[in-house]
Structure 1
Amino acid sequence: MRNVSEVIEQYLKQALHQSPNGMVEIQRNELADKFQCVPSQINYVISTRFTLEKGYIVESKRGGGGYIRIQKVQLHSHGSILDYIFQTIGEQIDQASSEGIVYQLEEARLISSREANLIRAAISRDVLVLKLPVRDEIRAAILKAMLVALLTK
């Protein structure tokens, strides 16, 4: 059986998929009531599974009429995809952020699961046995080179 975090994640992804504008606004307490969990569980799911690296923009407004807005980043052309990749990666990138980018590209079916697995293997800290910040700089260079090669087919 799936845990509550996975159920909440799938619910939010389904709501985003069904949304005509790729955006959903939720109230944390209402969602917590729906899934019979504490509001901090909603915060956890959103902060770990709906990150910019995974292709989401999250805004929140606190207070009585507060909400959390989640929007899926739309990548329409190879040019905008490459621009997004270079902006996100920069000169260095940590493993979690790089895996988030790979996840996003795989989820959007811009790279295959085999390609994603090869990239993950190449940029793993188990392979890049270097001290920081050199490791993150090498990871960024490898990731950019691999993605440019794959996305400019």
Structure 2
Amino acid sequence: MRNASDMIEQYLKNILMQSPAGVIEIQRNELAERFQCVPSQINYVISTRFTLEKGYIVESKRGGGGYIRIQKVQLSSQGVILDHVLSTIGDHIDQTSSEGLLYQLEEGGFITCREAGLIKAAMSRDILYFKLPLRDEIRARLLKAMLLSLLSHP
């Protein structure tokens, strides 16, 4: 049986896919009621599973009429994808952000599950056994090289 976080994530992704604009607005309390959980559980799911690295833009407005707006970032053309990869990685990238980017590219069908797994294994802090910030700089260089090679030669 899946846990509440998984069910909330899947529910949000389903309604996002049904949205013609690729944007949804939700009420935190209403969603918490629907899943019989506390609003902080909704915050947790959104902050960990709907990040920019994973391809989502999240806006939040607090207060009486507050809402959470989630938008799926669409990577449509080769140039947009490459620009996104380069800007996300920059000169350094931590392991969590690199895994989020790989997740986004795999979910979008730009790389395979196997390719993502291989890159993820190579990007691990257990493999890149250097002190920070050198580790994040080396990870960025390797990740750029691997992704540019994969994305430039479909």
Q: Does 1:140 align with 2:140?
A: yes
TM-score, scaled to structure 1: 0.99
Sequence identity percentage: 73
Q: 1:41 maps to which residue?
A: 41
CA displacement 1:12-32 (0-9 Å, x = unmatched): 000101100111100000000
Give the distance between the partners of 2:128 and 2:44, measured in 1 at CA. 29
Give the distance between the partners of 1:3 and 1:117, measured in 2 at CA. 24
- Secondary structure (helix, strand or coil) at the match of 1:17 reads helix
Q: CA RMSD in A?
A: 0.5
Structure 2 unaligned spans of 5+: none
Q: After superposition, where does 1:50-129 map in structure 2 within 5 Å?
A: 50-129=50-129
Give the distance between the partners of 2:120 and 2:4, measured in 1 at CA. 27
Structure 1 unaligned spans of 5+: none
Give the distance between the partners of 2:96 and 2:35, measured in 1 at CA. 28
Q: Per-residue deviation at 1:122?
A: 1.1
Moved over 3 A (4+): none
Task: Give the number of equivalent residue pairs.
Answer: 153
Give the distance between the partners of 1:114 and 1:8, measured in 2 at CA. 27
